[in-house]
Copies of this chain bind each other. A is one copy, B any other.
Amino acid sequence: MTEDVTSEGEEPPSTFDLDVEAIIEEVNGRDAELVALQLPEGLKRRAHYLATRIEKATGAVVIVSADPCYGACDLLDDQLEPLGVDMVVHIGHTLLGDAPPRLPTVFVEAPSRLDVRPAVEAAVPLLPPEGTIGLLTTTQHRHAIKDAEAVLEEAGFRTAIGEGGRRLAFPGQVLGCDLSAARSVADSVDAFLLVGGGRFHAVGVALAFQRTVVVADVEMGTAHRVDEERDRILRLRSAAIGRAKDARTFGILVESRPGQQRWALARSLRTMLQESGHQPILLLMKDVGPDRLFSLGMDAYVNTACPRIAVDDQSAYPVPVLTPQEVRILLGKETWGDYRLDEIG
């Protein structure tokens, strides 16, 4: 038996809070008999504990989605409706205002228990002295953005927390596919501070705006800039566009996840590539991955699904995988000087 799955009442240790009582109340309040549970990868180990706990407390049957879930764009209505699922509990992400689920869905956040202040303090020396700092964060640290603000103001900075578009759930939120909260303050800040972890969101902001971006890595209690990574990715993107100049056959990738689907964009890229003498075809995919593109054997691909796939993983792909804007640069309809990160929203 594995030791890190507990199921009899005790909750496995974690740095994320999860309000199981609130979930139980929602399920009871809706008299749901069949409940689907979606968890991000980092919380998958709690699936067994949560499912059995909810089942015992509510009498409902729980079915856990075992597929990867990287955001609120991963809606499973099409799979869950035929099973007779009454409600969905979607953990760790916030509703995308422009892509709401069809089934009754409760978005339950999983806030980090960690103190953000040590990481923000570590970020102070990396920020432009006395500048205005755009504060950004992700769902699990949204409650702590005020703590971050206080640390920065004590250290003599001004702060700005932007309001974004419909896809966002709170001020200062950043998604891999939506930088609108950053955009709303970009002109008035000297740098961005991303309170979170990893490099994914910070690199997105750095690619999109000509600003210094510092990550306050909450889990590590450290901070770092992402300038070098931004520059490395930009070099790779420029090289990918260059390599795609010789491409004859193009696959245009369309995602089937409702929150990532840009069908009209895919159709217009098809027309644009045809008119410029290329040979595009439309491709539908559940998960974009290198092995699948290898099987298809085309010269280049354009990705209309999750904007980050091409940008972050290009080195894993044998041929260029471009963003929609990069195709317009390739075809001379835009210039490299206008380069920006692809977004949905």
Nearest chain-B residue to A8 (Cβ)?
Answer: B279
Task: Decide if B296 touches A66 in the complex (CB within 8 Å).
Answer: yes
Nearest chain-B residue to A7 (Cβ)?
Answer: B279
Identify which of B66, B67, B256, B282 contacts A64 (C-beta below 8 A): B282
User: Which residues of A (289-325) have their CB < 8 Å from a CB of B?
Assistant: 292-293, 295-299, 319
Known: A67-B286, A283-B64. A295 touches B41 (CB 8 A): yes
Q: Which B residues lie within 8 Å of A2 (CB)?
A: 297-299, 319
Task: Decide if B79 touches A281 in the complex (CB within 8 Å).
Answer: no
Q: Which B residues lie within 8 Å of A258 (CB)?
A: 82
Q: How many residues of A contact B (CB 8 A)?
A: 57
Task: Decide if A256 touches B79 in the complex (CB within 8 Å).
Answer: yes
Q: How many copies does the complex hold?
A: 2
Task: Decide if B5 touches A249 in the complex (CB within 8 Å).
Answer: yes
Is A246 close to B, CB under 8 A? yes
A1-34: CB near B (< 8 Å → 1, else 0) gives: 1101101000000000000000000000000000
Task: Decide if B297 touches A66 in the complex (CB within 8 Å).
Answer: no
CA A246 to CA B2, docked complex, whole Å = 11
Is A247 close to B, CB under 8 A? yes
User: Which residues of A (44-66) have their CB < 8 Å from a CB of B?
Assistant: 44-45, 47-48, 51-52, 55, 61-66
